[in-house]
Every structure is written in structure tokens, then in C-alpha cells.
Structure 1
């Protein structure tokens, strides 16, 4: 009997504690820094993308291209490889980098391979279903001059109670016609110190 009483008491306490658990949601500014885990986050992606875009458009190759061609360079965003020990959605980095580049007003960006298929399907559909005056012509796509690609790596230094994570992001601009790398950039400003509790299991 006593055993059943103790079991009932435990279940009652558990029920009360479960009922007391609640969650709160706080809305924050989109550009505020919220670093909870110490791992890569959206703030890091924004900082790195803005910096690399500025490096790229302020470098000597850009002025030389403008002088020789009298137009803005056309860039396509290639792959960003994740060579870290954590899961990073590199498509977010790619898109933020594209946004940063376009917002400089100094380059043009064209759709990548997956985006092109969707657009081409729409253009093909227009040839059948749209009016002659409004249907967009086939074969008038703008070709990219360069592909921007890169990778992200980490160096982790740890002593058990503290670890330091340093992120190294490199980017390279490749001439699509010649495969020549005409610009290389890097950012290693993202460094995080993570301290662990001494009672951590």
C-alpha cells in the first residue's frame, strides 16, 4: 500500500511540475546579435557576407574590369563548401553574399543552375500560352563573366572547460572563360569563446 502511495505522490508531483513548465517568446530586432550556442549563426553570415562583398568590389580587379569593358561585371554565385565540424546551411551564406553584392550597386548577379530551370520553364510556357507581344524571347540570357565560390573552415582550441572557435571563410572569383582566379578574399574575424560549467556531464 505504501509503495502505491509513493508512486501516486511521484506522479502527482511530476504532473504539477509539467504543468508549471512554460515557454516565452521574445521578438528581437533582425540585426541584433543572439549568440546562444557559440556555433555559426545568422549574425556571422551577415558580417562575413558584407565584408567579402566590400573586399571584392573595392579590389583592383574591379576597377580594371570597368576600365576595359565599360560595364558592370556579371557574377554567378557558386557553391560554398562547409568544411567545419558543425552543420551550417551554406545556402544561407550564398544568398546573403549575393544580397550584399547586389546592394553595392557595383555588380550584376544572374540566376544559378537551380533557379534557371524554374525561369526557363516559365519562359517555355510563355511561348505557348502568352501573347506574342508579351512572351519573352528564348536565347537572350545574360551570361556570367565570373563565378564566386568559397569554403568555410574552423579551428577549435579547447581545454575542457573552455573552447575557442575561429571561423575562416575564403572566397574566390573565377573567370568562367579562362578558369583564372582573379580575386581571393578571406575573413577570419568570427572568433567565439565558449565556457562550460564545471558540473557539466
Structure 2
């Protein structure tokens, strides 16, 4: 009787495992890829972001902006890089990648423009009777930006039945807020062509 019960329990367990495996279907295989491998057509890609970041940083390091005068200055990003392409491109990512490298390489002190509303709201709250004023953030200590990093991306696309050619132009500028003077500017051009196979 005990042997029969053990056999039934084992058989039930095996059957459950088999049924669960059948219901689950095939598993999904996930593979890590590089930015270059993510380029599958003529559209903007992660590889392009890296190219723009690396080129612009090298240009900035070779310019007069890479001096103690500008390293001590307070920088700010434009809210968004102007996008004149025929694609939806998250241009903020391009600017933030450049900002991250500039900060990490000690080339600039940045104001977080996107956090400004939250900062002002917190400061106003901390001045109320809800907070211990001796431990609250002091008002009037916010840094004002002295230079702004801004940019524009545009493209020209040529398409035929089998070919898609896309030509990007990316321009960045650093502008002094006091004078409006352009302190540095550079551009990079990236071209790409995608062709459909003759055979399907």
C-alpha cells in the first residue's frame, strides 16, 4: 500500500512538471549587444550617440573652453536639443551623455535644469513652520548659470525602392549668458545607407 502511494505521488509530481513545461512554451533567449550591433537600418542609433559624444568631447578638450576660466563657470543644458530631423529622437539623451563626460572629466559644473522646479518647491516648503529653520536649506544660495550648452540635429534622407540613405548634421554651441557670445561651436556629420536585398 505504501509503495503504491509513493508511486502515485511520484507520477503526479512528474505529470505536473511536464504540464507546466508544456504550458510555459519556449523560453526567450536574451543576448547583450553593442551599440554598433543595434544599428539595423538608416535611422538614428545608439552608435551615433557615442560618435557624437566622443567627437564633441575631443573638440571641447582642444578648445579654449578647456581652461580654468570655464571649468570654474556654471554650465547648464538647454532643455532639449533642437530636432529638425524626420525622426523622433530623444535629443536629451545626447546632451546628457556629453554632460556626464564633462562632469566626470572635471571640465564643468552643471546646474540641473530639470530639477529646478522641485528645488524651488522644496525650498519654499522648508521656509514654512513645518520645518526646523536652523536645518532647512538656505534661500538665495542657488547657482546661476554662466554658460549654456545647446545644439541642433538635422537630416537629409534620400529613399528609393531598395535604398534608404540618411545624412545627419549635429551642431553644438557653448554660449555665454552674460553677453550672448558663442564661445565654442563644432559640428559632426554622420551618413548611413541601408539596402534591401533583391531576394526575399
Instruction: Tell me the TM-score normalised to structure 2 length.
Output: 0.75
Structure-2 change in CA distance of 1:121 and 1:25 (3 Å): farther
Q: Bigger radius of gyration, 1 or 2? A: 2
Residue 152 of structure 2 aligns with which residue? 151
Is this contact kept in 1: 2:85–2:154, CA < 8 A?
Answer: yes
Conservation of the 8 A alpha-carbon contact between 1:74 and 1:144? yes
- 5+ residue gaps, structure 2, are 1-24
**Range with greater deviation from structure 2 (129-138 or 140-149):** 129-138
Asked if 1 retains the 8 angstrom alpha-carbon contact of 2:71 and 2:108, the reply is no
Alpha-carbon separation, structure 2, partners of 1:193 and 1:44: 14
Alignment of 1:34-183 (within 5 A): 34-63=38-67, 66=68, 69=69, 72-78=72-78, 79-112=80-113, 114-128=114-128, 129-183=130-184
* SS of corresponding position for 2:49: helix
Secondary structure (helix, strand or coil) at the match of 2:144 reads: coil
Q: Which runs of no fewer than 5 residues in structure 1 stay unpaired?
A: 1-20
Structure 1 vs Structure 2 CA RMSD: 2.6
Match of residue 196 from structure 1: 196
Tell me the CA shift for residue 37 of structure 1: 3.0
The TM-score, its normalising length taken from structure 1, stands at 0.75
Q: Deviations over 1:83-123 (max 9, x none)?
A: 111111112222222212212211111121x4201111112
